[in-house]
């Protein structure tokens, strides 16, 4: 058993046909299909997900993704290992040009991968992307908290904030983003040696959707989105956490739509929702969803 994409490549090979090449030039997002190679497209960043590390065999890796959109649709762009640095330099609403990339199918949706030849240009001079279509990728499955199980990826929930904890601050390597500890008066990264660290943070809240509660873990970018505050403001709470009390109070009872993955916290033996995207719940959108159901 093989995928339709794989079958297409086999047939093209037998017929001597070059499948989906760069001869098509720059493509609109709606014109992109799984199996295409060496393509170029441009879009505006409409969602950015936090990077995460994973273990494969005896080694470790890193992966991150973002959603690009134009007036014709949206598509996910996936960054692996060293490529993650490109994604970490982007922000929502940045214009991103990707060149010489290829497209795969994943969960009945399309994904752009850079491969070895892909190139990323952030906010290229003179390039403009018009209004992005409101159709955002549909590869996220909405679930109730009581339905969530360990290891699930790309899950969407609608949760109300019922408890907020103080943010925790820690030092990271400015190059790779990994946590660094102080030793003998200096900070050392396993990969980059002695570094001048950057400050990062994580915020935990308890979410409730009527079927149960779960702790949501918001790392730096998503914590900033949750609080609707700039990075410098949040870092400022480190010196005086009493200033954060009003923020916690304002957040209680607010409802958010979140996308993320489920991971078991072995220390406390509980499931946690690691948030990769957060946005304020849209009442009209939720009413339409309920009417459709």
CA-CA distances (angstroms) from residue 189 to 40, 165, 183, 194, 199? 36, 29, 11, 6, 14
Query: pLDDT for 226-269, tens place per residue?
Result: 999 988 999 999 999 999 999 999 999 999 999 888 999 999 99
Residue 178 in this model has a pLDDT that exceeds 90: no
Domain tally, the chain: 2
232: its two tokens:
């410098």
Q: What are the residues whose beta carbons fall under 8 Å from the beta carbon of 169, sequence distance 6 or more?
A: 199, 200, 201, 235, 238
Residues 99 and 196 in one domain: no
The answer to whether residue 254 sits within a structural domain is: yes
Residues 210 and 252 in one domain: yes
pLDDT of residue 23: 41
The answer to whether residue 164 sits within a structural domain is: yes
pLDDT band at 4 (very low <50, low <70, confident <90, very high): low
Select the more confidently predicted residue: 34 or 64. 64
pLDDT band at 276 (very low <50, low <70, confident <90, very high): confident
The answer to whether residue 241 sits within a structural domain is: yes
Residues 83 and 183 in one domain: no
**DSSP bridge partners of 113:** 78, 102
Residues 149 and 256 in one domain: yes
Average pLDDT score over the chain:
86
Q: Does the pTM exceed 0.75? A: no
| H or E element at residue 155 | strand 155-164
Question: How many helices (H) and strands (E) are present in the chain, helices listed first?
Answer: 6, 18
| 68: containing domain | 4-122
Strand duo 39-48 + 26-27: pairing: parallel
The answer to whether residue 197 sits within a structural domain is: yes
The answer to whether residue 163 sits within a structural domain is: yes
Residue 135 in this model has a pLDDT that exceeds 60: no
Cβ burial 83-109 (10 Å sphere, 16+ → b, else e): bbbbbbebeeebbbbbbebbbbeeeeb
Which of 122, 152, 175 corresponds to the end of one domain? 122
Q: What are the residues whose beta carbons fall under 8 Å from the beta carbon of 185, sequence distance 6 or more?
A: none
- The number of beta carbons lying within 10 Å of the beta carbon of residue 54 is 9
Q: The domain that contains 74 carries what CATH number?
A: 2.40.50.140
């Amino acid at each position: 058993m093989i995928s339709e994409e794989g079958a297409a490549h086999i047939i093209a090979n037998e017929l001597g046909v070059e499948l989906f090449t760069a001869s098509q030039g720059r493509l609109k997002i709606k014109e992109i299909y799984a199996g295409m190679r060496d393509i170029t497209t441009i879009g505006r960043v409409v969602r950015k997900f936090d990077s995460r590390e994973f273990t494969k065999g005896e080694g470790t890796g890193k992966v991150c993704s973002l959603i690009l959109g134009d007036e014709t649709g949206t598509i996910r762009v996936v960054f692996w290992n060293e490529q993650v640095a490109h994604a970490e330099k982007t922000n929502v609403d940045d214009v991103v040009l990707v060149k010489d990339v290829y497209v795969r199918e994943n969960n009945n949706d399309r994904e752009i991968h850079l491969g070895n030849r892909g190139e990323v240009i952030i906010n290229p001079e003179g390039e403009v992307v018009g209004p992005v279509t409101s159709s955002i990728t549909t590869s996220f499955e909405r679930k109730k908290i009581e339905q969530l199980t360990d290891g699930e990826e790309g899950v969407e929930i609608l949760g109300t904030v019922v408890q907020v904890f103080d943010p925790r601050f820690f030092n990271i390597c400015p190059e790779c983003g990994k946590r660094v500890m102080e030793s003998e008066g200096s900070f050392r990264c396993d990969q980059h040696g002695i570094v001048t660290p950057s400050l990062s943070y994580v915020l935990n809240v308890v979410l409730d959707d009527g079927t149960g509660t779960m702790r949501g873990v918001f790392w730096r970018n998503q914590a900033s989105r949750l609080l609707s505050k700039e990075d410098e403001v949040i870092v400022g709470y480190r010196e005086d956490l009493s200033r954060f009390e009003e923020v916690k109070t304002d957040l209680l009872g607010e409802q958010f739509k979140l996308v993320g993955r489920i991971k078991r916290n072995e220390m406390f033996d509980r499931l946690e929702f690691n948030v990769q995207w957060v946005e304020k719940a849209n009442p009209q959108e939720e009413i339409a969803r309920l009417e459709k159901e």
